[in-house]
Amino acid sequence: MKLFCALCSARAARREFFPCGRDVARWFPGHMAKGLKKMQSSLKLVDCVIEVHDARISFHVAGRPPTETLGLKPHLLVLNKMDLADLTEQQKIIHHLEGRGLKNVIFTNCIKDENIKQIIPKVTELIGYSYRYHRAQNLEYCIMVIGVPNVGKSSLINALRRQHLRIGKAARVGGEPGITRAVMSRIQVCERPLMFLLDTPGVLDPRIQSVETGLKLALCGTVLDHLVGEEAIADYLLYTLNRHKLFGYVQHYGLSNACDDVQHVLKSVAVKLGKTRKVKVLTGTGDVNVIQPNYSMAARNFLQTFRSGLLGPVMLDRDILQGLPTADMDL
């Protein structure tokens, strides 16, 4: 692209690996551990597990909750936020997931109820082909909804209620991880068949093996930004956009060209948004007021703009999809 000048192209080409100095792969708060134990104790009531994940990181199963601890239950993978993901190679994604044993996959957008109607029939089919043990005579279906934080589990429950019961939301939702802190009471989502869902807290696998996987999870908002650092996440975002030749940020912020220097980009963003502050600098002649860009606020805006889809759809696992070498760094 013309926007990607020769200088920036050369600089970006050298940036084949992202330097990760902070460990983001061990964020496993107490409420996650407690939630996982509560989920395990509730399994005897469950007929099927719906796992919700972010469609932008379809292949990064390392961040998913440890599903092997939740027993051998019928399993449906719901890849939510499809409106934010680049799904031009959707069939290739599905084929790749099938190769990993994930044969039941549905892409959704819970905000617009896109593809939501597919879920109840699929769950009913899966349960119909499974042995329900001591629940065989029970006409009620109980489904457990699991997933990493902030991928739309509660939004999915509310969307199902809108579709099948025509009533309002029952599960609290929010734009950051940690809204749901405990396994809730059963929430009815359908009358025929009579189906209840268990909402659960977002749980990350504490055994994440790569820093880049942790950064992808952070970029999608599954980890509170301040635990990783907004500027560190923004730097990884810039690296990712340039690596995949997604230069929508250049036009959005009115930059002269693409660049892989996050300080330069954040400075331009701060100036454009008027996010500057006066800072006193001690010099040989005394204190001098200097106008300094607010890098933290610029990084926050950069991340919010990406997460809202204003920089265009993206597939953060494109390197895996295309069979390219990954920049994963083992811890």
Binding-site residue positions for GTP: 80-83, 150-155, 202
Q: Are 114 and 108 in contact (CB under 8 A)?
A: yes
151-162 burial string, b = 16+ CB within 10 Å, else e? bbbbbbbbbbbb
Hey, how many other C-beta atoms are within 10 angstroms of the C-beta on 296?
16
Tell me the C-alpha distance between 58 and 290, whole Å. Answer: 45
As a whole number of angstroms, the distance between CA 27 and CA 36 comes to 14
User: Which among 174, 170, 171 has a CA at the least distance from the CA of 151?
Assistant: 174
Find all residues with CB under 8 Å of 13, minimum gap 6, and list them.
none
Task: Extract the annotated binding site.
Answer: 80-83, 150-155, 202
| Side-chain half-sphere CA neighbours of 122 within 13 A | 17
Integer Cα distance of 208 and 329 in angstroms = 11
Phi, psi of 198 (to 5 degrees): -105, 115
Is the CB of residue 104 less than 8 Å from the CB of residue 76? yes
**Inter-axis angle of helices 295-307 and 262-273, nearest 10:** 90
Residues 51 and 247: their CA atoms lie apart, in Å, by: 32
E strands of the chain, at which residues? 48-54, 75-80, 105-107, 141-147, 187-190, 195-198, 276-283, 286-293
